[in-house]
Each structure stands twice: as C-alpha cells, then as structure tokens.
Structure 1
Amino acid sequence: MKRCIPGFFLLVCLCLSVKAQQISPVEGSWVGTLAVSGIKLRLVTHIHTEANGYKATLDSPDQGAKDIPIDIVTFQNDSLTLIMNRLGAVYKGLYRKDSVLIQGLFTQNGHSFPLVMQKSEKGITVNRPQLPVRPFPYKEEDVVYENPSTHTKLAGTLTLPQTGTAFPVVILISGSGPQDRDETLFAHKPFLVLADYLTKQGFAVLRVDDRGVGKSTGSFSTATSADFAEDVKAGIAYLKTRKEINPQKIGLIGHSEGGMIAPMVASKSPDVAFIVLMAGPGITGEQILRTQAITFYKKMGASDSEIKTILELSDAVDKLAESNSTDKQKRKEGIVQLIKDKAAGISDSRKKQLEITEDAFLQSVELAQSPWMKYFIHFDPIPVLKQVRIPVLAINGSKDVQVLADNNLKGIETALKQGGNKKYQVQKLEGLNHLFQKADSGFPGEYGTIEQTIDPTALTAIGDWLKKVAGK
C-alpha cells in the first residue's frame, strides 16, 4: 500500500541541456543524497561539455532510473542552477573549489531540501545480490492471455520446474501502484526473486504485468482492486488450459494490495486451493491510511497534539472535498481557511515542515478522487476473509510501517476464525519491513539502500508452508 500523506512524493529522473562555458569545473559526475519526508534518494548528475553547451543526465539509482531529461542548467560565478519544469523543481548550488563539492538547496512545490553533491569518478553502483542470473535451472516462458470481460491482454512470465508434470502453481499479485511482473521497486525485483525461489522448490509460478503496464494492455489509472481481481481470475482460467499444471493446486500469493485481492478472488472462485497474504490488510483501507499517517508523522518528529490537529484537519478537508467536488476554487479557498482555523497554534515554519500546506492538501484531495482510492478507502477485508475456507498463510514484518503487523494480522486471524476456517497460519517475522527486507527503521527511505530484496526467513516461511499444503 502506498501512504496517503499530503505532500509525499518520490523523485523521478532528469536529463539536462544547457549553454556552457568551454572549460567548466562542474564537468563530470556528482553524487548527492536527497532526504524527503524520511526517504533518502541518492542522485548522480553527469555533466558533459559540448561545443554548444552542456549535456547532462541525472540518475536515481535507488529507484532504478537513469538518463532522464531536465530543462535548463546555468553555471556562472561558481553558482549552478538546475531548472526542472516538469517537476516544478529547482536546484541552486554553490561550487566550492576548496572541497570540490556543490552545496545548495533542492526546491519543489514550495519545499526546500539541502542537497550537497560531491564529485565522483565511479558514481554509485546498486548491488542487488539476490537477483537470479540466467541461465536458470528451470523453464521460463513469456505468456499472454485475455481478460474476456474487458478484452485486456495480460502479459507475464510462467516458470516451470525442469522436469515433472502436474505442478502446483501460484499466481503472484502485486501491491498498489502500476507494477510490472517483477514488482520492480528501487532496482529490487521481489517477484523475480520469489518466483525463482519457489520454482526451484518444485512450484510453477505465474507473474504478470499489471493492466496498462509493460506488455499488458488496458488502463491502469481507471482500475480498482475489483478490476485487478478479475485479471487474476483470467490468470486462473489460463493456467487451467496448461497441461503442465495441476488444476487442483492453483494458489495465490498477494503482496500488500495483492493480499487484499487474493481473498477477494478465493472467496468467489472454487478453483483457488490456497492463498498466501504478504503484508495483506486486516482492517479497512481508511484505517490503514490513518495508521500510516500517524506512524509517518511521528517519524517526522510531530508531537501528539500536532498529529491530532493534522488528523482533524484531514477529516475536515475530506468533508469539504465531498461537498465541493466540482468547484475547485471554492475547495481551494476552503482548505486555506481550514488550515488557518484548525492549525492556528502551529507556526508557519512548522506547518511547512509537517507539510500542512494548501498544495499538500490539494494533492491529497486529488488523489482521493481516483477510482482506486475511493474503492480502497471503503474496502473492508473482514467480510471477505470470513468467506475463505481454504488454507491461508498470513505473514507480516514486525517493522512494516505501511501495513502495521499487529493490527492487520489480528484482523485477518479474527476474521478467518469467525468464518470457521481452521486451516490458517498467521506469522509475524521479526525485523522485516513492508518489502520483507531485514530493516533498521522500516521506513520507505531504507528500501532502496538495503541490498537484500527478500529476507530468507520470509522465503522459507512461504516455501515450507506451500510444501505442506500443496507440495507433491
């Protein structure tokens, strides 16, 4: 799940073109780290001098992004300016000859963050030691099938053990946001690592690009979790046509939002034999967003009274947005007045630090208008989980700050028990975050800096349980 906190954003990559002096001390590669809302992003700017100006690119290696365009760069009197129109961002820095670094501020949407860039010949290498390398000791096949209800073409990868027949199989269901078949995030590929591990354990694995992502057709932006559930059903129908698959042993593994979708499908489809919920929700979407907000604001150093004010303000903004769904000007004026009234005891500088701003709440309101968010906020997993009678494994990391382990695992277990399901296992994995990495704080800022993609304890927990319920 992705948190719904005003002002939260991740950088995208940039590419620059500018007029340059013939000889420039800023030519070369520059490395810096941008800290935004508890997230640390390492940036590498490559600047090259050409006859008519500069050519430069900026990489965000922790996001697996390289060589993307910026608009304007100027360098005069030791002052470097980067203007990024599409991001609404500007970087202004001072080149320091004595220490060979550029020290300045990165500003976006009225928020400024220190950014020091130091010259580097090597740049940054992102190490992901768990990523499997071809040739694989199993079969790998690109597949395409259709969701007949929407005529969406879904493209993915099916891996099969090298020998044998009638394999048990799992479909991997990704978390929120447009995800490719590997669930790529910060140069990590969790679903590739998981598929590799399980296929070596004797399971077939199907992982798929979300609709509108990669090689899959359709629209992601207009889809809800219910639509993604239909795509999963199409995957089940496809697997039933494959002679290598045991149709009695088709299971689902869902991560985050995928852990919400898996029970939705299993409660309706007799073809699903077992499910694994990785950081799946056991409380409503609205409750998840609220617990996320409290956790993140505490990380930002907010006091209990400040958090109380922010939550009350958020509730008031939500009501305002519902009553002014079409008149954006009235909504904007109303938000300004609400901030003035309800956050009167918080200084302007502190408001800026905590992102209690007009722009931040307007962005939050826009996000809340999307079909996906409307569906998610009102979704309650409890009635769905009560209908699931097949074996269920629910795991969560103790340091997950996006889907908190204790209240969500408790909700899942309570619902399964109330529904009469006696074939379930609930497990909290110590020290793991939302991506099931071994973590320090558990906050998203660590995701890209941790080399590990999935901790072996999580892989083993899933693999051992699957062998018990579906192994040959």
Structure 2
Amino acid sequence: MARFLCLLLLSSLCLGCQAKQPTVLPQGYWEGVASLDSTRFFIGLESNDGLLSIDIPEMMIRGAETQIKSQKHGQLLLTLPVGPSELRLLLHDEGGSLSGKIAYDTKTGTTTLYPGAYRKTYRMKTRPPREGEKIIVKTPYGKVYGTLLIPQGKQPVDAVLLVAGSGPTDRDGNSELIVENNDMLWHLAQELHKAGIASLRYDKMGVGESSFEDNSNEQNFSFEDSVHVARMLVSSMHADSRIRSIGIIGHSEGSLTGLLAAGDPHVDFFISLAGNGDPIASQLTKQVRGIDRDAALLLEKRLDQIQMSHYEITGNAIVDSLIPPGSEVYLGSWMKFDPNALLRTISVPTLVVKGDRDERLVAEGD
C-alpha cells in the first residue's frame, strides 16, 4: 500500500491552486502522524497568512499548496489533487493540536497534528533503548552524538564505526521521514556486541541529537564534510585504549562515506552494505526514469546545473522534491565520486555485501 501510494503520488502529483482566504488554523507549522488504512506516514501542514501547504516527506511531497474546500462548525476541509483522486483532510482545533480524518480514494483514517517539528519528538519516543556509552565529538560543523557499545571482559577489542545510509538517518538506522522504525543499525550493533565486537554508531549531522552550530554550516555542508566527520569519529576510537583494531561498516550512502574514510591510517578494514556501484547522479536518474521519463530528463538538466553551481528549481514536483533548495552543495559534492573507481584504490581488506531484493538498486551495474 505504502509503495503504491508513493509511486502514484510521485508520478501523478499536481499541486492545488493558491487561495488566500480566512482560515481557522493558527499561523505556523503543524506536524504529526496520519494513519490511512494500514499505512502510517508523517504529514505536515503550514499556515502562512491564509495560504496553506502540505508536506508528506515519505512520499516526497513538499510545500504542495492545498485548497480549502469548506470551513464550518469549527472544522476545516482541505483537499490536494493526487492522480485520479484527491487527498482530503477534515480537521478541527483541539486547543494545542489539530485532529481529524484523512481520506484518499476509498481509504480512510485519522491524524493528529502538533505545533512545530513533531518528527524529532516522535523519533525520540519510539527509538530503541540505547545501552552503551554516550559519545560526543566536537567537529567544525557542530557536535556529533553517538553510542559506543563495547563488550565487557577481556580488552582491547576489535571495533567498527557504523555509518548510516541516505537521508536524515539516525544512529539506529531510522529515517526522520518515515514513521515505522527498522532499527537496522541498532540490531547490527547488538549482534556485533554478542560476537565480542565493539561498535560506534552516530546521528548524522542535522539529525537526532547531532545539530549544526549555525545555518551557514548547514547550508555549506558537503559530502567531503560528512567524510571528515567519520574520520574524526575514527580518531576518537583510536584514542580509546580499550579498542584494538578499527573497521568501518557503511550502508547505502554511508558505504561511499565509509569508503572515503577508510583511507584513514587508523582504519584496518571496510565493509559496504548495499552501496551504490555507480555515481549518485546516474543512480537518481535511473530511479526517476522508472517512474516518469519526462521528470528524468528534467532531473538530468538539474544535476548538470548543480555541477556548474547553478541552482534553479524546475517546477516539476518529482525533481524539486528530490532536490529541494539547500541540498545542492551536498549533492554537488557527492556527484564527484565514482564508487567503482574508488573501490579499486582501497588498500585495506574489503567486503562488499548486496542483497537480491533491493527495491531501489538493480544488481547489474549498480
């Protein structure tokens, strides 16, 4: 259901008309969880001077302007055209939250929205227990927070740095865009601990507890900077007398981060989990081409512009949601690297692990 909705929304999204009119909603941003049939996802609603827009990050909807169909008896009906049907929200002010019903086609459900960025609060509530030592490393971009899980008993021990995958992913492997937890890095850390191997996992910059010191750091943060963060964490592990050898395990995007960080002289081995084999520009284009060929052409143009430091939105919902304003510096620096070429230059023992049921990567050439 979630996959079907995501593809439908990506391929058919059309934005509603602007309509400046009175609203019962207070000014500001509201966010919460919507349950639609068996699917749960984050939804955000912004009210700004009578203009309303909707975010559904898991489905790559950002700032979609919504129509106010009606408002009476303290209730507000909002609609967003999506493909052959429309998304409908019927909300009322509960005095501190907005509650109501959500519907799409024949599917119905409920939602409750809270003022501010609820996703971080939700993730804090639902995260797995974090046994181990809290690690804080000061970087040029801000403080990075992580968890060191180290076996008791005979020491020193072997250890690994766990590097999370694409998007706003925390130390446990959970995305701030997706309601359901997978806890993949948490589970990996537990199994490594049982095997007598220590692990350090961390929130990526701008995710979870790891926050940027200021906006300029966030806007100018590059892929190379993420590699620098990983290397600083390796240095902190090297300074720990309880740790003998250090490896890096990187998942998805974290595979490339780890591959680059593995050049650090203190790294003894590297493991790639479901990492891309081709450059990110090629990977993104292939994925979008499978959904919408016209959008893929616009995406190629946008990526070429980013390489020339020319940033301009396309007006296409898929492309502009995939590359929102402010992400160009990071993506542009990411595009410089070819994982296949880099893998040939690595000098430490390396293991590449890929599954055959990946929903995004095709085994041949990826």
Which TM-score bucket, shorter chain as reference? 0.5 to 0.7
1:92-131 superposed matches below 5 A: 104-105=103-104, 114=105, 116-117=107-108
2:163 partner amino acid: I
Counterpart selection for 1:178 from 168, 183, 197: 168
1:250 to 1:42, Cα distance in 2 relative to 1, 3 A: closer
1:6 to 1:152, Cα distance in 2 relative to 1, 3 A: farther
Query: Would you say 1:32 and 2:36 are equivalent positions?
Result: yes
What corresponds to 1:210 in structure 2?
204
1:312 to 1:382, Cα distance in 2 relative to 1, 3 A: same
**Alpha-carbon deviation of 1:274?**
0.8
What corresponds to 1:396 in structure 2?
354
1:116 to 1:18, Cα distance in 2 relative to 1, 3 A: farther
User: Using the alignment, how far apart are the partners of 1:256 and 1:395 within structure 2?
Assistant: 11
Counterpart selection for 1:155 from 145, 156, 161: 145
**Alpha-carbon deviation of 1:194?**
1.0
1:32 partner amino acid: L
SS at match of 2:278: coil
User: What percentage of residue pairs aligned between the two structures are identical?
Assistant: 23
Counterpart selection for 1:229 from 223, 227, 230: 227
**Alpha-carbon deviation of 1:192?**
1.1
What corresponds to 1:201 in structure 2?
195
What corresponds to 1:426 in structure 2?
none
What corresponds to 1:25 in structure 2?
none
Counterpart selection for 1:283 from 247, 265, 278: 278
What corresponds to 1:375 in structure 2?
333
Question: Who wins on radius of gyration, i.e. which is larger?
Answer: 1
Query: Would you say 1:273 and 2:268 are equivalent positions?
Result: yes
SS at match of 1:406: coil
User: Using the alignment, how far apart are the partners of 2:248 and 2:79 within structure 1?
Assistant: 46
1:318 to 1:80, Cα distance in 2 relative to 1, 3 A: same
How many corresponding residue pairs?
288
User: Using the alignment, how far apart are the partners of 1:253 and 1:270 within structure 2?
Assistant: 16
**Alpha-carbon deviation of 1:270?**
1.8
Spell out, residue by residue over 1:86-136, the C-alpha distance to the aligned partner (whole angstroms, 9 max, x if none).
xxx97257xxxxxxx97855xxxxxxxx3632589xxxxxxxxxx8668x6
What corresponds to 1:254 in structure 2?
250
Query: Would you say 1:91 and 2:91 are equivalent positions?
Result: no
CA contact (8 A) 2:220 2:330 kept: yes
Mark the runs of 5 or more structure 1 residues left unpaired by the alignment: 11-16, 20-28, 35-39, 45-59, 64-71, 94-100, 106-113, 121-130, 336-356, 409-472
SS at match of 1:397: coil
**Alpha-carbon deviation of 1:276?**
0.9
1:374 partner amino acid: G
CA contact (8 A) 1:321 1:365 kept: no
2:235 partner amino acid: A
1:316 to 1:235, Cα distance in 2 relative to 1, 3 A: closer
**Alpha-carbon deviation of 1:290?**
2.2
TM-score calculated relative to the size of structure 2: 0.64
What corresponds to 1:51 in structure 2?
none
2:162 partner amino acid: L
SS at match of 1:272: coil
1:166 to 1:289, Cα distance in 2 relative to 1, 3 A: same
1:115 to 1:31, Cα distance in 2 relative to 1, 3 A: farther
User: Using the alignment, how far apart are the partners of 1:360 and 1:376 within structure 2?
Assistant: 20
SS at match of 1:399: coil
What corresponds to 1:422 in structure 2?
none
Spell out, residue by residue over 1:284-336, the C-alpha distance to the aligned partner (whole angstroms, 9 max, x if none).
112211222234x2xxxx7xxxx3x554454456567889947x6xxx8xx6x
SS at match of 2:229: helix
TM-score calculated relative to the size of structure 1: 0.51
1:175 partner amino acid: G
Spell out, residue by residue over 1:197-229, the C-alpha distance to the aligned partner (whole angstroms, 9 max, x if none).
111110111011112333324344532221111
1:278 to 1:116, Cα distance in 2 relative to 1, 3 A: same
User: Using the alignment, how far apart are the partners of 2:302 and 2:331 within structure 1?
Assistant: 16
SS at match of 1:170: strand
